A and B are shown apart, each in its own frame.
Chain A
Amino acid sequence: METGVLALNGAEGVVEGIEKVLDRHQRDKTAIIAILQDIQDEVNYLPEDALRYVAQVLDIPLSKVCSLATFYKAFSLQPRGRHVIHVCLGTACHVRGAVRILETLERDLGLRSGQTDENLQFTLETVNCLGACALGPVVVVDGEYHGQMSSAKTTRLLKKLRTGEEKLAASQ
């Protein structure tokens, strides 16, 4: 098998990571969705080369791998930011004003839902209900829940995240 197909812009260890995932699933074709999920967990998104590699190793047409990677919302074909911000747009959050929270974030970050800024700091995404309706409107940053959001609280939250990013930049 040709492993040279995967030259992930110098990202070392990626091939090994994917190989490990494939082994964990015994290279089972029917586990393709779980395999892609695990690769995304490792790499943070699904690079084109990774899709090609998996298609080749599992002997699945690339077109099918691509159709899976674009059908399921959990997959991202673009690199995602260090902070992933999820805005819940479930019905309970909607009637409590979630749209205004999303708009505040879009305005403040200069991103539309689904986009990542060019410095790979923030990814903004929406989700249809996180099942934390008592907290609505809910924003989840890197897995941490922030409930009963208002536009003012959202602005404060972003400010805090940005300060953290600045500190990180200064320390490097």
Chain B
Amino acid sequence: MLMERVQRIHGPADLKRLQEALVQGRDPNKPCITVCAGTGCLAHGCQHLVSAFREELTSHGLAAQVDVRTTGCHGFCERGPVVVIHPQGIFYERMQSQDAAEVVERTVINHEIVERLLYTNPATGEKIVYERDVPFYKNQTRLILAHNGLIDPTSIEDYIAVGGYSALLKTLYTMQPEEVLEAVKRSGLRGRGGGGFPTGRKWESCRQAPGDPSAGSGQAIRYVICNADEGDPGAYMDRSVMEGNPHSVLEGMIIGAFALDSHEGYIYVRHEYPLAVENTGIAIERARAYGLLGENIAGTDFSFDVRITRGGGAFVCGESSALMRSLEGDVGEPHPKYVHATEKGLWDRPTVLNNVETWANVPLIINRGWEWYTGIGTEGSKGSKIFSLVGRVNNTGLVEVPMGITLRKVIYDIGGGISGGKKFKAVQTGGPSGGCLPEGLLDLRVDFDELTKVGSMMGSGGMIVMDETTCMVDVARYFLNFLREESCGKCVPCREGIERSLEILNRICSGEGTPEDISLLEELADLLQGFSLCALGQTAPNPVLSTLRYFRDEYEAHILDKKCPAGVCRALIEYYIDPQACPGCGACVRACPQGAISGEKKQPHTINVELCIKCGACRDVCRFGAVFVR
């Protein structure tokens, strides 16, 4: 990317002037086609769409009159590639490059709507024209994600134009470090990475830590770290923030560093997120160029710089003490926490580690004030939270809502309910440390404390919806299998406890479970919770305990009746073809890898259960819905 020379910013007036110039240089009525270039839309081929738009505009001689902007994740990943046409805010979904010509001609030039590209509300059948009216967006409160769909993440100018870095300048020029700390404390902000620890208190204990007396310079060295090692399966909020608006995180970190008198920061990004690494790298370069990062930030005597480190693909490195060991170039094994990282963290120096979303909240609190912030959310959990709403739900995507919203509102009003007309069974929150909540808890108000009370947790914000085709014993087994692979193996309770629990679950799923197995699982859960070294082991039993608590009947069906009610566990099911529904097209015969299906042409087919490996290929290809599981 071309890095042109820019004027360094030397104070609030400079930033204001730059922002005004940027805003004035941009006609708000100039048509702009924004194309989502988040990972979901990229996977749907949005880059071809962008080139198609550019070519079309050029061929109409409109390249100068109409902007095309690739932005970060809009959040409505289910409908990608997502396009919004400004200034009207017309929303087109699932756009392909061959649609670009029609949109340029009809919408951009003739101001018409292309009906077939509009979103249809599945509840009413009504076509929706504007992004703001789509129920998925309408029911959200977007603070952190507010600008994701508007700005080009690689352009610091885009961020400054919407008011970016004004919180930093306000901090540096009008506030004392203690005031920043006080504002964060009073805001009630709690860590978004999972633990929900009050951010202000964490900062305060780091500030008060004496640091390393042997350092000699009289000044303790402190570090700030951004944890972007988002590892919970089914959660991708942090990815979208890092990819879509990296400056908001960076700004939060610089403000935090000022409050903590820290001069060195690290962003630890998950290895599987190359786009996040790239966009964050660009953001750092650009912020340095403007003098907003590095030596003498914005003309003050405060200096702070940030480095990016790529993770090595270990889930446990999302745990703070393991992450710090990894930053030091060591194996990512957690340490006991009787000494907090705020006193002895990275290289044994006082360290504050916060999650991506936590950092991104900081500029908002500074700009709008802690009083405003405490007006959002519940008594114990303030502000908004981004959830990644995924699984068997109609509108998969990123959802930002105020704390305290009910699960029902998230899943039904925003998520559009369960996909494929199936019945809701459970929603899993909190990643592998969380739990599965049943239908009876759909009216639960989601915040840190309420979720913990019912045996789950907030975690980083994954919300996986499960329907009647999901087996809850299999889900518990899935998470334990995940944790067994990711346990670092350092402490015995975690290493052995998870392994043995998994053995029992495997036994139950294969129809060899005994009634004693349930109490044995509970006993092992006690051991894990009480004696594991870090949160990975301590919370590992949650998926088992919560499914036992709310879905015990499914465990009993597996153990006593040797049945899997959801039709998932291989050993307990059998595939068959309904002769009434099968027209004998032969598609399943061709799909079956085992040659287990036979039948005359145009006659109902049958499956030989002796040969069948229950792979489900026949059910996938059957257009008549004639393949069933019993």
Q: In the complex the two chains form, what is the Cα distance from A107 to B131 in whole Å? A: 44
Q: In the complex the two chains form, what is the Cα distance from A95 to B184 in whole Å? A: 39
A75 and B312 form a contact (CB under 8 A): yes
Residues on A with beta carbons closer than 8 Å to the beta carbon of B235: 129, 131
Residues on A with beta carbons closer than 8 Å to the beta carbon of B273: 131
B40 and A129 form a contact (CB under 8 A): no
B332 and A71 form a contact (CB under 8 A): yes
Q: Contacts A97-B616, A147-B44 hold; do A136 and B390 have CB atoms under 8 A apart?
A: yes
Interface membership of chain B positions 56-81, coded 1 if the CB is closer than 8 angstroms to chain A and 0 otherwise: 00000000000000000000011010
Q: In whole Å, how far is A168's beta carbon from the nearest beta carbon of chain B? A: 24
Do most interface residues of chain A lie in helix, strand or loop, or is the interface mixed? helix
Q: In whole Å, how far is A142's beta carbon from the nearest beta carbon of chain B? A: 13
Q: In the complex the two chains form, what is the Cα distance from A73 to B488 in whole Å? A: 12
Instruction: Determine if A103 is an interface residue (Cβ-Cβ < 8 Å).
Output: yes
Residue in chain B with minimal CB distance to A133 = B390
Q: In the complex the two chains form, what is the Cα distance from A17 to B390 in whole Å? A: 42
Q: In the complex the two chains form, what is the Cα distance from A91 to B328 in whole Å? A: 31
Q: In whole Å, how far is B113's beta carbon from the nearest beta carbon of chain A? A: 25
Q: In whole Å, how far is B428's beta carbon from the nearest beta carbon of chain A? A: 7
Residues on B with beta carbons closer than 8 Å to the beta carbon of A145: 39, 42-43
Residue in chain B with minimal CB distance to A69 = B312
Interface membership of chain A positions 51-80, coded 1 if the CB is closer than 8 angstroms to chain B and 0 otherwise: 000000000000000011001111100000
A128 and B315 form a contact (CB under 8 A): yes
Instruction: Determine if B373 is an interface residue (Cβ-Cβ < 8 Å).
Output: no
Residue in chain A with minimal CB distance to B271 = A74
Instruction: Determine if A134 is an interface residue (Cβ-Cβ < 8 Å).
Output: yes
Interface membership of chain B positions 308-341, coded 1 if the CB is closer than 8 angstroms to chain A and 0 otherwise: 0111111100000000001011111000000000
B428 and A37 form a contact (CB under 8 A): no
Interface membership of chain A positions 1-36, coded 1 if the CB is closer than 8 angstroms to chain B and 0 otherwise: 000000000000000000000000000011111100
Residue in chain A with minimal CB distance to B594 = A107
Residues on B with beta carbons closer than 8 Å to the beta carbon of A67: 331
B43 and A95 form a contact (CB under 8 A): no
Contact size range, B:
35 or more
Residues on A with beta carbons closer than 8 Å to the beta carbon of B620: 150-152
Q: Which residues of A from 119 to 140 have beta carbons under 8 Å from B?
A: 127-136, 138
A129 and B234 form a contact (CB under 8 A): yes
Q: Contacts A128-B233, A131-B236, A147-B44 hold; do A95 and B615 have CB atoms under 8 A apart?
A: no
Q: In the complex the two chains form, what is the Cα distance from A68 to B328 in whole Å? A: 12
A34 and B332 form a contact (CB under 8 A): no
Instruction: Determine if A111 is an interface residue (Cβ-Cβ < 8 Å).
Output: no
A151 and B388 form a contact (CB under 8 A): no
Q: In the complex the two chains form, what is the Cα distance from A29 to B39 in whole Å? A: 34
Residues on B with beta carbons closer than 8 Å to the beta carbon of A94: 233, 475, 478
B314 and A104 form a contact (CB under 8 A): no
B236 and A133 form a contact (CB under 8 A): yes
A74 and B470 form a contact (CB under 8 A): no
Interface size on A, residues (CB 8 A): 43
Q: In the complex the two chains form, what is the Cα distance from A129 to B331 in whole Å? A: 22
Q: In the complex the two chains form, what is the Cα distance from A33 to B479 in whole Å? A: 28
Q: In the complex the two chains form, what is the Cα distance from A131 to B386 in whole Å? A: 14
Instruction: Determine if A43 is an interface residue (Cβ-Cβ < 8 Å).
Output: no
Query: Given A74, A90, A131, which contacts B312 in the complex, CB threshold below 8 Å?
Result: A74
Q: In the complex the two chains form, what is the Cα distance from A66 to B310 in whole Å? A: 19
Residues on B with beta carbons closer than 8 Å to the beta carbon of A29: 329
Instruction: Determine if A160 is an interface residue (Cβ-Cβ < 8 Å).
Output: no
Instruction: Determine if B621 is an interface residue (Cβ-Cβ < 8 Å).
Output: yes
Instruction: Determine if B232 is an interface residue (Cβ-Cβ < 8 Å).
Output: yes
Q: In whole Å, how far is B139's beta carbon from the nearest beta carbon of chain A? A: 18
Among B166-174, B187-195, B391-399, the one that faces the other chain is B391-399
Q: In the complex the two chains form, what is the Cα distance from A73 to B317 in whole Å? A: 11
Residues on A with beta carbons closer than 8 Å to the beta carbon of B315: 128
Residues on A with beta carbons closer than 8 Å to the beta carbon of B621: 150, 152
Instruction: Determine if A89 is an interface residue (Cβ-Cβ < 8 Å).
Output: yes
Q: In the complex the two chains form, what is the Cα distance from A67 to B391 in whole Å? A: 36
Instruction: Determine if A100 is an interface residue (Cβ-Cβ < 8 Å).
Output: yes
Q: In whole Å, how far is A100's beta carbon from the nearest beta carbon of chain B? A: 5
Instruction: Determine if A112 is an interface residue (Cβ-Cβ < 8 Å).
Output: no
A95 and B470 form a contact (CB under 8 A): yes
B313 and A73 form a contact (CB under 8 A): yes
Instruction: Determine if A158 is an interface residue (Cβ-Cβ < 8 Å).
Output: no
Residues on B with beta carbons closer than 8 Å to the beta carbon of A130: 39, 272
Residue in chain B with minimal CB distance to A149 = B620
Q: Which residues of B from 242 to 279 have beta carbons under 8 Å from A?
A: 271-273
B314 and A73 form a contact (CB under 8 A): yes
Q: In the complex the two chains form, what is the Cα distance from A110 to B295 in whole Å? A: 56
Residues on B with beta carbons closer than 8 Å to the beta carbon of A83: none
Q: In whole Å, how far is B426's beta carbon from the nearest beta carbon of chain A? A: 10
Residues on A with beta carbons closer than 8 Å to the beta carbon of B593: 104, 107-108
Q: In whole Å, how far is A71's beta carbon from the nearest beta carbon of chain B? A: 5
Instruction: Determine if B211 is an interface residue (Cβ-Cβ < 8 Å).
Output: no
Residues on A with beta carbons closer than 8 Å to the beta carbon of B240: 131
Q: In whole Å, how far is B630's beta carbon from the nearest beta carbon of chain A? A: 18
B233 and A134 form a contact (CB under 8 A): no
Q: In the complex the two chains form, what is the Cα distance from A150 to B619 in whole Å? A: 10
Interface membership of chain B positions 281-320, coded 1 if the CB is closer than 8 angstroms to chain A and 0 otherwise: 0000000000000000000000000000111111100000
Q: In whole Å, how far is A86's beta carbon from the nearest beta carbon of chain B? A: 9
Interface membership of chain B positions 595-628, coded 1 if the CB is closer than 8 angstroms to chain A and 0 otherwise: 0000000000000000000011100110000000
Q: In whole Å, how far is B511's beta carbon from the nearest beta carbon of chain A? A: 18
Q: Contacts A33-B329, A134-B80, A147-B44 hold; do A92 and B312 have CB atoms under 8 A apart?
A: no
Residues on A with beta carbons closer than 8 Å to the beta carbon of B234: 90-92, 129, 133
The 6 closest A-B pairs by CB, nearest first: A72-B312, A131-B236, A145-B43, A134-B77, A73-B313, A133-B390
- With contacts A68-B331, A100-B615, A133-B391 known, what are 19 further pairs, Cβ within 8 A? A34-B309, A68-B330, A74-B313, A89-B233, A91-B390, A91-B428, A91-B431, A95-B392, A96-B392, A128-B233, A128-B486, A130-B39, A131-B230, A131-B236, A133-B236, A135-B43, A145-B43, A151-B617, A152-B617
> Can you list 24 A-B contacts with CB-CB less than 8 angstroms, sorted by A residue number?
A30-B329, A33-B326, A33-B329, A37-B310, A71-B488, A73-B314, A74-B312, A89-B233, A90-B234, A91-B233, A91-B428, A91-B479, A96-B392, A97-B616, A127-B272, A128-B231, A128-B315, A129-B231, A129-B233, A130-B39, A131-B230, A132-B40, A133-B77, A136-B390
